[in-house]
Structures are given as C-alpha cells and as structure tokens.
Structure 1
Amino acid sequence: MSQVKIQSEKSASNDRIRQIFSAAPLRITIIVIALVWTIPTVGLLITSFRNPDDIQTSGWWTVFQHPFELSQYTIRNYQQVILADGMGEAFLNSLLVTIPAVVIPITIAAFAAYAFAWLEFPGRSFFFVVVVGLMVVPLQMALIPLLSLYVDINELIGIKLNGEFLGVWLAHTGFGLPLAIFLLFGYMSTLPAEIMESAYVDGASPLTIFIRLVLPLSVPVIAS
C-alpha cells in the first residue's frame, strides 16, 4: 500500500514538473515582452532626473555604475517645467479637468448599470439599447451642437459653460457615459443573483444593496 502511495506521489510530482517545463516558453516570452515595454519607461524616468550635460554625453544606464552617487541626479528639469510660463497652471488645469471627468461619469454609470442589470422598470431594455447605441455617434458630430447648446443655456438662464470647467466636465460625462455604463453593466449583470435575493429577503432596499453589496463586488471593474 505504501509503495503504491509513493509511486502516485512520484507520478504527481513528475506531472507538476512537466507542467512547469511545458509552460516555461510562454512564461519566458511574457517576461521578455514585459521587460521590452518596461525598460524604455524606466529609462525615461531616470533621464528626467539627470543633468542635461550627462544626458547628451552618456546613456541613462550609466547611472547604475554608481547608483548611490547623488551628484548625478537633479530635480532642475522638473523645476524648469513647473516654473516655466504657464506650465504649472496648465498642469493644474489638467488635474482639474481629468479627475472630475473620470469620477463623475463612473459614479453616474455605476448607478445606471446597476439599474439596468438588477432593477425592473418599464422600458429598461429599450433605454439600454439607446445608451449602447450612443457609442457609435462620433464625438465630432456632437461637438458643434453641444457648443451651441452651451450658448443657448447662457442666454436663457445666465449659466456660462463655454470656456469653463463645468462645461468640460459635462462634455466628458456625456461622451463617456455610454461606454462606462456598457462596461459596468457587463460586470454587474454577472454577479450572483442569490446574493441580491437574500438581501431583498432581509429587507434591504435597492440603494442599500447597491452600496453594501454591488459596489464592493464591482471594485475591480470600477477601478479599471
């Protein structure tokens, strides 16, 4: 009996070894591709901290000859970029546009995707098809009508959107919502129905289920 057990363990060990060696070419290929993509980025990062004279006379990899010699590093390049005319303000404007333009559509899309995936209401399928269909509308087609709408809003109610952050945020939200809703819907609709049903039985409201169950389970797709 013990000999049979030893032989089965040896056979299992041999199978694992064969699996490791059979997968080795694929893993090596993936590692090589990752290095090919990563090394240039690392080189750019190191170069950004080097003196201009050193950049022109030697490659970025030479810093590894004396990696702890701090005299070969400098932040002067970043100081010049940030303190240059308009660059600091432009960088701040980029943050003020990018962060809300990402957070606002994802927040709205999460609620909408949950509604399309798990709530029953009249016209659910129709409205979802309309939302998905908006993805094929070219952004260039909607740009001029959108700017005209901003002008009309300013004339009617006095809210200026042209040339303002709010106008940019609204534009990004409108253009990004269809794709965001489609992606989040595809993930949320695959969540286990048993969890939702158990929450309903326990008396949880749709909003409670969304906040306490759906959102935590959807963190991977929201973060991506």
Structure 2
Amino acid sequence: MTAVHGTATRARPRPVPGPRPRPRPAAWLTKAASGGLVRTVLVVVALLWLTPALGLFLASLRSEQDNATTGWWTAFTHPDQLTVDNYTALLKDSGITQAFWNTVLISVPATAAVVIIAALAGYAFAWLEFPGRDWIFLTVVGMLVVPVQIGLLPVARLLGGLGLFGSIPGVVLFHVAYGLPFAIFLLRNYFAEIPREMLEAARMDGGGEWRIFFRLVLPLGRPAIASLCIFQFLWVWNDMLVALIFADSESQPLTVALQSQMRQFGSNIGVLAPGAFLSLIVPVVVFFAFQRHFVEGVMAGSVK
C-alpha cells in the first residue's frame, strides 16, 4: 500500500499549564525593598533619628528663659528666639574650652597610635613568617573578650606606679591598649585578602617589606583603615568611664566636664545644650569626612 500524500498532520495537544511557583521569601523581600514604600519608611525613620539632634541644636540657640517656658519646636514659628549668646558664653567658660581641647588631645593621639600600630601588626600577622605567629595572633584575638571594667584597677595601679595616673598620656595609653586587639584583628583580616601574586611581584621587582607596606598595602587597605579611624575616634571621643577614672580635673575631657556641669547646675540649659551639641557635632563631621571610605570598607568582600 502506498502512503497517501497531502493528509493534514494532527496537531499536538498543548501542555496544560501547572500552578505557577510561588516567589521565594528572599526574592519577595528584595523586590519589596526596592519599592517606594520602603524608601519612604527609611526617610521617616531617619528624620525621627535626627529629631533629638535637631532639638538639641535649636535648644542651644535659644535663651534659658525660652527653653524653660516653651519647647524647642517653637523656634520654627518664632525665629527671633535664635541667638548665639549661649555659644559666646560657652567659649568664655574656661572649664568647657579646656575640656574640649583635652578631648582633642586624647582622641587624636589615641586614634593615630592605634591605626599605626595595628597596621604594622596586621601586615606582620598576615604576610610575614616568624615563630609563634599564629599563637600570638590567637592571643590578641582572645583579648577581645576581656571587658574594659576588668582592667580598670590593675591599669590604674600600673599608671600610678609610672606617674601617669590622672594625666592625658595615661588616658591615651589606656585607650591604645584596649583598642589594639580589635584594630589588629580587623586590619589583619583585610590585609590577608590581598592577592599573594601582587606581593610576590613587588618582591621580585626588588621591593623590600617597608616599601611594599607603604606603597602597596596601605593604599589597598585605605577603606579598612578609614573604618578603623571612625570606630576608634568615636569610641574615644564619646568615652566617659575611662576618663572619669583616669583623668583628673585638669585633664578631664568634654564628656566628664558636661557631667560635672549637669551635677552642679542641672537646669543650666544655656551651657549644657551648646556643650552637648559641640560634643555631638565633631564625631558627625569626622564620620561624614570618612563616609566614602567607610562604605568601601563595609562593602569590601561583598562583591568579588
């Protein structure tokens, strides 16, 4: 029998579509986070977070009588209340101004010393071979779990024996000692991510360890170093416990001076408000100055 030509082919049945897979929770959250609603919520949260700082700033620009009778928000409807007399009086207060410069003399050296020592130690623990390297690094990491309160009495006796108790160098040494474990841990882990081939190529070109450290490692580690600067500076600038114990009346920082003012003149908003805002604005300026490097340090390693 011959096959019949020209016959129509029978159409294949279409597959019946099954139930569509439900989106995963992670995908749903990612899609929702990119929407305008979440951005609006974040803006509202940011405004609520900034409200106390704004209130403190406006209170520092109002007279003590205005602060005692009305709220700081009335400055929006009565801008004539704003004045810089409180800051003028603050600058004439020798105790507050001396405490401000004491804070600078404590925070800047403590931050610089921690960053310099931690950068050198982090490079050594990451790329140099020497006996007991891993055990020493584990000891440094183990010091992270030691609370500050445990070392107050022994360090106080040590500084007293050295004649540094109650002085600015004594406070700086305490902050350096307790800031180094975290700083070394942070920078060592960051430096260890540098490709080995890059360092070997630099050594083959005749570069010594010091040259490699300054010309290669430090520029590559700038995001982590900037993050460390922010963390250490904020910790030292806002500290009151260590300064309250190790600093005397001549070397006390701004946090202790404001606490003393509050204890003696609890209702003196004309001095406390501008002093507190001055103590607040300096860390904010430092953070925004290093913000770009801080974000780079946080995002480092998230994208390879």
Superposition TM-score, scaled by structure 2 size = 0.58
Would the alpha carbon gap of residues 50 and 195 (structure 1) be closer, same or farther in structure 2, given more than 3 Å must change?
Answer: farther
* Correspondences of 1:71-220 after superposition (within 5 Å): 71-84=80-93, 86-152=95-161, 154=162, 160-220=163-223
The 1:206–1:36 alpha-carbon spacing in structure 2 relative to 1, beyond 3 Å, is same
The residue that corresponds to 2:37 in the other structure is: 25
Q: Find the aligned partners of 1:194 and 1:30 in 2 and give their Cα distance.
A: 43
Change (3 A) 1:35 1:193: farther
The AA in structure 2 aligned to 1:189 is A
TM-superposed deviation, 1:62? 4.3
**Whole-Å Cα distance in 1 between the matches of residues 149 and 70 of structure 2?**
45
Partners of 2:119 and 2:184 within 8 A in 1 = yes
Highest relative contact order (Cα 8 Å, sep 6+), 1 or 2?
2
Q: Offset at 1:130?
A: 0.6
Residues 191/58 of structure 1: CA separation in 2 closer, same or farther (3 Å cut): farther
Distance in 1 (alpha carbons) for counterparts of 2:99 and 2:158: 26
Inter-partner Cα distance in structure 1 for 2:136 and 2:193: 20
Checking the alignment, whether the CA contact within 8 Å between 2:32 and 2:38 is kept in structure 1 is: no
- State the distance in 1 between where 2:55 and 2:159 align: 45
Aligned partners of 1:166, 1:105: CA distance in 2, in Å? 14
Counterpart of 2:223 in structure 1: which amino acid?
A: P
Correspondence for 1:9:
none
Tell me the distance in 2 between the aligned counterparts of 1:207 and 1:82: 45
Matched residue SS, 1:81: helix
The alpha carbon displacement at 1:59 in A equals 4.2
* Aligned counterparts of 1:101 and 1:184: Cα–Cα separation in 2: 17
Q: Is the aligned partner of 1:47 residue 2:59?
A: yes
Measured against aligned partners, the alpha-carbon deviations of 1:83-113 in whole angstroms (never above 9, x if no partner) come to 3362222222122112212221121111111
Paired positions, count: 197
Distance 1:163-1:29 versus aligned 2 partners, 3 A rule: same
Does the residue aligned with 1:222 lie in a helix, a strand or coil?
A: helix
Deviates more, 1:26-35 or 1:92-101: 26-35
Identity within the alignment, %: 45
Structure 1 unaligned segments of length 5 or more: list them: 1-18, 155-159
Shift in Å, 1:166: 1.8
SS at match of 1:50: coil
